[in-house]
Amino acid sequence: MEKEIRAIILGAGKGTRMKSSVPKVLHEIFSKPLISWVLDAINRLPYESESIVVIGHGAHDVEEYLNTNYKYVKTTLQKEQLGTGHAVSQALPILHDFRGEVIITCGDTPLITTETLNRLIKYHQNNNSDLTVLTTMFENPFGYGRIIRSTKGEVMRIVEEKDATESQKEIKEVNTGVYCLNWSKIRKAFSELKNNNSQGEYYLTDIIKWARDNSYTVLGCSVKDNSETFGINSRMDLAKATSIMKNRHLKALMEKGVTIVDPTTTYISPETTIEADTIVYPNTYIEGKNKIAKFCKIGPMARLRGNCDIAEGVKIGNFVELKNAKIAKNSNVCHLSYVGDAIIGSNVNIGAGTIFANYNSITKEKKQSKLLDNVSIGSNSVIVAPVEIKQNAFVAAQSCITKDIEANSLAMNRSPQKEVKNWVINKKGENK
């Protein structure tokens, strides 16, 4: 680990255009809140880091989520939304004694990568900058703040769209809202920002002018992929970000030797790893963290809901759902089955329509089932957790298994088949 850094994440906005009672930063992509994608990108940096999230609208829900899921995250409340500069100032008491670098970013930018944040910090350090702005290029930069540079390449100021001259509007380099600061030098700016503008707000972008006025070095570090800085303001934005994220990951998987038969209908979380020579068939949805080994076949129309560990040569059939399942080599989970909270051995065959009943709705508990090597489960069976089915055992079709099964045994739990002779002929006669 290198030296410490701190991150301030702006997450107080209401997100009016989301038309939702859920705080904007808690809206999800691949079942993971927007704020988590940002925090996890920061936490993967090669520094000892601590993040401060500025909360506002839905503060209780955001704080509860962060306290439950993150150890090195603090929150600070922005009671009134008086602008982005005012939001950052709420972190001043927490960072009173800090003297290192601080990065500032938004909690609604889930596509930002660790690599880009690290490059920003390195650029800032290597060039002895006091304040570095992450910039990017847009062919159509309408709506973005333009980066005004000096002839030496230093950032002079950021001009918002409404304030830009016609020549300034031609500038394609824009502000992304991500900054790296020498905190001991720039922190004072947040106590001296003015709100003499039409909105009556304290703008974060004004720290550029403040730094220049105080003879500090202000530089710009550009990121080539402008999609990384895409912010979520509406449901349409959420869908667009999801598409960008999934296509980015599918491309990376295919480049590593995974076959994605139809990328347009396949969704795989970036937190899922898949090894080469595995085939993922159309209409498959994989969310959360999962590990899938080589030579597997997944789908079509399969769903993995997270925490699944699938070994080499496993087949997951169509309309199969998995959650919190570990499956060893060369096992099959056939179509129309649900496997949840289970450990499956190698060379196991789970017949079509098999259900693992893992949840007790009265106690709210989930229990685990274990199937050891070479077990065979007949179609339309129910495995009621917690049970253990030992090696080479066979479960007859349409059985409801509630007890452990010994090795090499046959288990069945169903009513005997009955046959009523000539029932159809007799019924037709009654109807006449």
Q: What span, in angstroms and rounded, lies between the C-alpha atoms of 338 and 336?
A: 7
Residue 335 known to be catalytic: yes
CA dihedral 370→374→377→379, nearest 10 degrees, is 140
Q: Of 27, 57, 60, 335, which one is the catalytic site residue?
A: 335
- In 3D, which of 414, 311, 310, 402 has the Cα closest to residue 356? 402
Measured CA to CA in angstroms, residue 225 lies from 115, 136, 144, 222, 230 at distances of 12, 8, 16, 9, 10
Q: What span, in angstroms and rounded, lies between the C-alpha atoms of 247 and 89?
A: 37
Strand 338-344 to 321-327 pairing = parallel
- In 3D, which of 153, 154, 178, 175 has the Cα closest to residue 164? 175
Q: Is the Cβ–Cβ distance between 12 and 87 less than 8 Å?
A: yes
Measured CA to CA in angstroms, residue 424 lies from 30, 146, 427, 428 at distances of 52, 81, 5, 6
Active site positions, annotated? 335
